[in-house]
Structure 1
Amino acid sequence: MCIADKDLAAILRRDFSEDFVAKMKGSMLQSHYKYGWVSDTYPELADAIACLKQRLELYEKDGNIDHLVDVANFAMIESMYPHHPKAHFERLSSDQSPGLVGISYKQMMQEACE
């Protein structure tokens, strides 16, 4: 393993949650037995974005992270079976991103040193 690979692995260990992804998978498996195949339902019969928004509102009310797992799964479903008429993937540059609401620790430290 080269140094760059070690750096990437360290970043993912600190800034990525395999536990969250495992929760997403568990939720998708449970939902399969409740609702059936995703491809049979989306996008014709159900609206993943509306479901996502509903779960995000629930999370904002009660703080239950299970709702965020659902948000992530509905985002994934929309990406797999898009309902949006202009759905596409195009990697955005930093200039095109809305950025954070707030400030990152790195930005705060850079500003403190100026």
Structure 2
Amino acid sequence: MSSVEAILSTEFSDPFVQGMKDRMVVSFYKYGLVSEAYPHKVNAITSLTDRLRKYAETGNTEFLIDAANFAMIEFMHPSHPSAFFEGTDSDQSPGRRSKRSGIPDDRDNQSIGTNRNSELAKFR
């Protein structure tokens, strides 16, 4: 197994992506072509945030798959008038939020959630 395969075996979810594909096929038969609705008839961003809210309320991870599909649809058929893709470095990213403090924290997984100024943190 290559190092990329080894990383992806723990850091990526094929069942999640398969769930996205399965739901897009169902949606095709239910609603029709994505290009016939987005972005001029349906708002993918609002639909995405609605799904994140439903996940937060219910815990049903299907809503996360739906949210990912709406993100993909926005990528394919952007509603943003100046949409573009450009790879960015971490200094341009909003980063991850610490579960403990709720504030952005760019530290590694071992350090996040600990006190940056503690004596123990100096040794990590």
In the alignment of these two chains, the number of paired residues is 110
The answer for the alignment partner of 2:73 in structure 1 is 77
* Backbone CA RMSD of aligned residues: 2.0
Does residue 113 of the first structure (1) align with residue 117 of the second (2)? no
Query: How far 1:112 sits from its partner (Å)?
Result: 6.3
User: Secondary structure of 2:53's partner?
Assistant: helix
CA distance in 1, matches of 2:122, 2:5: 29
State the structure with bigger RCO (CA 8 A, min sep 6), 1 or 2: 1
Q: With structure 1 as the length reference, what TM-score do the two structures score?
A: 0.88
In structure 1, stretches of 5+ residues that fail to align are none
Distance 1:105 1:50 in 2: 31
Letter in 1 for 2:59: G
After TM superposition, the structure 1 stretch with the greater mean CA deviation from structure 2, 84-93 or 12-21, is 84-93
Tell me which residue corresponds to 1:26.
Answer: 22
Q: Which of 2, 8, 23 lines up with 2:4 in the alignment? A: 8
Q: Say which SS state the counterpart of residue 64 (structure 1) adopts.
A: coil
Q: Does 2:13 correspond to 1:17? A: yes
Q: TM-score, normalised by structure 2?
A: 0.81
- Using the TM superposition, give the Cα deviation of residue 25 of structure 1 relative to its aligned residue in structure 2, in angstroms: 0.3
Larger helix fraction of residues: 1
Q: Distance in 2 between matches of 1:51 and 1:62?
A: 16
